Structure 1
Amino acid sequence: MIPLSSQAPAPGAARILVLGGKAGIVRKAAALGFEVVHVQKPSAFDPDVVAHCAQLLLVDYQDVPTVTALVRALHEQQPISRLFTQTEAAQAVAGHLTDTLGLPGNSARTTRLLHDKPALRALLNGKGIGPVPTLTDPGREELRDFVATHGAAVLKPTMGSGSLGVRKIHSLGETDAAWAWREEFGLDTFMVEQLLVGRELSVESFSSQGRHRIVAITGKDTGGGVVELAHVVPAPVSDDERESVGDLVTALLDAAGLADGPAHTEVILTADGPRVVESHSRRGGDRINDLVRLVYGIDLEEATYRLALETDPLPADCPARGAAAIRFLVAGPGLVTAVSGVEDAESAEGVVQVDVQVSVGDTVHELRWSEDRCGYVMAYAADTGTAERLAREAAARITITTTPLADTSPATLGDLLDEVDEVLNPFATTTQ
């Protein structure tokens, strides 16, 4: 444990624990005057976080027995008033620790439900909340029968985010190839659901003492694949669609028992009405928080920490002012040999931010999940259509040139998780 003193909290400040997250997220907690205890994986340590912490523990927060013992000891020595996390990998652990310490916030039941996709689907189907046919760990013939019955399906891990390990099966003829891919990828525990067809959205909500408020609806573009290539806030939806989506998400959050903080729920507008894809007890990734802040003036990350100060940290009224869009950069697989057009994109109309995350000498992989994207362009405009256009046009000014590599051995699920030092189920080997 590292005691720190470069940013002293105010006398009598609430002591909170922040599990995981980048330096910028921790900085927001410190800026509110909290005494911040930060728990981070050693592999994810960023020296920039030091200035924002009263204490820093470098420990694998997905090692449940170890982090439980450490946090319990910290709490006994000097009580923690609230525990927060804004990263997917730590959600279930945060719920467990919240229960262990007897703190207000989302319970282990809720955070596990929103992390365990079959469990959430079973809950929703059991309550008749947008039912979707599903199977968990089917055999090859069961998978074939499922696709034959429903016409198309999506195969995915039972936990995780960022489109990791997700594959669409459009017809019965694709089933055997999908099964072979699953075995090669190392996806041993998985689920299959009827493929939902329609416009894709996400709903950004915020809850306080079990009362849910829809903050924004985000429009999405996957280009027909599974990895998200663009977002826009607000989404182009009708009043009726907005109401039906809001009702669906509110019913989900009630059923899951979400008490406090943001939720990010992915929805598809099917011909039979909106259907939930999955939901998470955190704010949306992919810079969606920045889009919401630009349009509605609400920072969901900061609002989350404010739960330790006030019952309802959101303003009473926050109408949309304009629209904001993000377009992600992609490139062909291979070794990056040149990057051009960045300054041209930065000077384009409406552009708020450009972030190119690869440089010459880096390797670009095929688009397997969100981590394989190469950066983004964010734009702001008076309306949704214009914001989308400006982001798309600015992104088109950037060229990332690659040359193919000889070694194209496919990565497994384990390989990709090792790269980010995460496990899908931190409770798989413990009874904590």
Structure 2
Amino acid sequence: MATRALILVEGHRANGPLYIQAAHHLGLHPITLSADPAQYDYLMAESIDAVRVDTGNLDALIRECTRRKTTHDIVGITGFTGLEESLYVTVANLCRHFDLPGPSPSSIEACCDKFTQRHILANAGIPVPAYRLATEVADVEIAAAEIGLPVIIKPAVGSGSSGVRLCRNLDELAEHTAYLLGGGHSWTSAPRILVEEFAQGPYYSADTMGNKVVAIGTANFMSLPNFVVSKCIFPAPLSDDEYERLAELSLSCLRTLSLYWGPANIEFRWTKRGPVVIEVNPRLPGWTTPRLIHLAYGVDLITEHIKLMIGTECDLRPRYLHTAAVQNLVPDRDGILDWIDGGSQAAAVPGISEVKFYVKANTPIVRRGDYLDSIGHVIAASPTHTRTDAILQRAVDLIGWSITSGITSDERK
């Protein structure tokens, strides 16, 4: 009998190892297809079956999967992506080609384009910030004037807050527009910029699987004008009415965008006019969110996603209700990291689940105002919000680092 295999297109520094572990636990053989497998340390460290292939080429992926079918029983396909989300469309098309469970390619494609997504949601009466699409400097200026400063400027396609910035005045607007259109931002297609109203208020995110809301969390950000998450907590401290309002709005988004299958992540701001949908991501959230949900609710989203892929019934019922939180370690300057220390002491604090540093001494630190600015994280969990907060702070206080300046603003861009 052929070995049952799970195909993983590309990798992910945080979620990739978890998918590998969950696949093994479910008796599956994980195979990673990547344009550059060496960029994912865990593939090399654990000698994972990895194949070099052009993951931007659907035909090349189909050929490789077809070749693998001669020796393996491919029972599921999923993938990861960094700042370019079009790979999710490719994965959806792969699932469709091999008649495997997966999302609708057209639904994923519409959702990954932030302008198209906004248009669909707004036409359905779902509250979203005011928005305009721009492709030239003059278009950005006109859109900002119509919406009114401050505005958010972001690429119409992308993730991880790459290229996203709050522009509070005309100088900031001109500077960031020049950065995006002048070669500072890496575009994989023709530049298209979303200009949107700055929806002010507490941030929340809902994580779903199919038509089920699994968890709702909240997050704090570093100082503006960029949007770098500093801390995230599950569950969010909400009243029953507030939770139901966000849950109902989440399900309305999924229905409107025809996201009937698999994981999704919906981001909100609770403004003066109530919750406003910032973005719907047709995928599992990255970084530490799956770990936080597992610690807070006892639900392993990654295992349940794989079970969904291979046609096994999911179990999304919470086993308990704790509070889990992560503090991202974000430097306040560019330069060279001289040292970072205190990880073992922080990990020894009762209630700490994980301490991880992403960088080592002598690493250049170049902040770009997105998720890659973080140099590590600390995760804590306990039965109560107050206790988790205290545990997390105690551990974070034990960690320190030193950065010697030496990188210019031009190098930063």
Query: Normalised by the shorter chain, which TM-score bucket?
Result: 0.7 to 0.9
- Contact 1:233–1:384 (8 Å) recurs in 2: no
How far residue 381 of structure 1 moved from its aligned partner, in angstroms, is 2.1
Cα deviation per residue 1:2-30 (whole Å; 9 max; x = unaligned)?
A: xxxxxxxxx56644322223344223112
Q: Does 1:82 align with 2:79?
A: no
- Contact 1:105–1:259 (8 Å) recurs in 2: no
Question: More displaced, 282-291 or 139-148?
Answer: 139-148
Identity %: 22
Amino acid at match of 1:16: L
- Contact 1:295–1:323 (8 Å) recurs in 2: yes
Rounded Cα–Cα distance in structure 2 between residues aligned with 1:411 and 1:92: 31
Name the counterpart of 2:322: 322
Closer, same or farther: CA 73–255 of 1 in aligned 2, 3 Å? farther
- Contact 2:4–2:72 (8 Å) recurs in 1: no
- Contact 1:268–1:277 (8 Å) recurs in 2: yes
How far residue 37 of structure 1 moved from its aligned partner, in angstroms, is 3.7
Q: Paired residue for 1:206, among 206, 209, 214? A: 209
Cα deviation per residue 1:382-428 (whole Å; 9 max; x = unaligned)?
A: 2224323432342232111010115442455xxxxxxxxxxxxxxxx
How far residue 256 of structure 1 moved from its aligned partner, in angstroms, is 2.0
Closer, same or farther: CA 399–306 of 1 in aligned 2, 3 Å? same
How far residue 44 of structure 1 moved from its aligned partner, in angstroms, is 3.1
Amino acid at match of 2:105: A
Unaligned runs of 5+ in 2: none
Closer, same or farther: CA 261–86 of 1 in aligned 2, 3 Å? farther
Mapping of residues 153-192 of structure 1, within 5 Å: 153-172=151-170, 174-184=172-182, 185-186=184-185, 188-192=191-195
- Contact 1:227–1:367 (8 Å) recurs in 2: no
Q: Does 1:372 align with 2:373?
A: yes
| SS of 2:359 mapped into structure 1 | coil
How far residue 270 of structure 1 moved from its aligned partner, in angstroms, is 1.4
How far residue 345 of structure 1 moved from its aligned partner, in angstroms, is 1.9
Closer, same or farther: CA 38–338 of 1 in aligned 2, 3 Å? closer
Q: Paired residue for 1:96, among 93, 96, 110? A: 93
| SS of 1:124 mapped into structure 2 | helix
Rounded Cα–Cα distance in structure 1 between residues aligned with 2:305 and 2:175: 43
How far residue 361 of structure 1 moved from its aligned partner, in angstroms, is 0.7
Could you state the TM-score of these two structures normalised by the residue count of structure 2?
0.87
Rounded Cα–Cα distance in structure 2 between residues aligned with 1:108 and 1:234: 31
Rounded Cα–Cα distance in structure 2 between residues aligned with 1:304 and 1:406: 42
| SS of 1:361 mapped into structure 2 | coil
Cα deviation per residue 1:22-57 (whole Å; 9 max; x = unaligned)?
A: 344223112201244432232435224545x5xx42
Name the counterpart of 1:422: none
Mapping of residues 325-340 of structure 1, within 5 Å: 325-331=325-331, 332-340=333-341
Q: C-alpha root-mean-square deviation of aligned residues, in Å?
A: 2.5
Cα deviation per residue 1:129-184 (whole Å; 9 max; x = unaligned)?
A: 11332112254344333333333211111222111111111244532233233344
- Contact 2:18–2:302 (8 Å) recurs in 1: no
How far residue 319 of structure 1 moved from its aligned partner, in angstroms, is 5.5
Q: Does 1:58 align with 2:52?
A: yes
Cα deviation per residue 1:307-328 (whole Å; 9 max; x = unaligned)?
A: 145553114x316422010001
How far residue 337 of structure 1 moved from its aligned partner, in angstroms, is 1.2
Unaligned runs of 5+ in 1: 1-10, 413-432
Name the counterpart of 1:44: 39
Question: More displaced, 267-276 or 292-301?
Answer: 267-276
Question: More displaced, 391-400 or 152-161?
Answer: 391-400
Name the counterpart of 1:149: 146
How far residue 58 of structure 1 moved from its aligned partner, in angstroms, is 1.8
- Contact 2:101–2:310 (8 Å) recurs in 1: no
Q: Paired residue for 2:65, among 56, 61, 71? A: 71
Could you state the TM-score of these two structures normalised by the residue count of structure 1?
0.83
Question: More displaced, 101-110 or 396-405?
Answer: 101-110
- Contact 2:151–2:196 (8 Å) recurs in 1: yes
Question: More displaced, 109-118 or 178-187?
Answer: 178-187
Rounded Cα–Cα distance in structure 2 between residues aligned with 1:390 and 1:378: 9
Rounded Cα–Cα distance in structure 1 between residues aligned with 2:117 and 2:330: 32
Name the counterpart of 1:290: 291
Give aligned pairs, total: 394
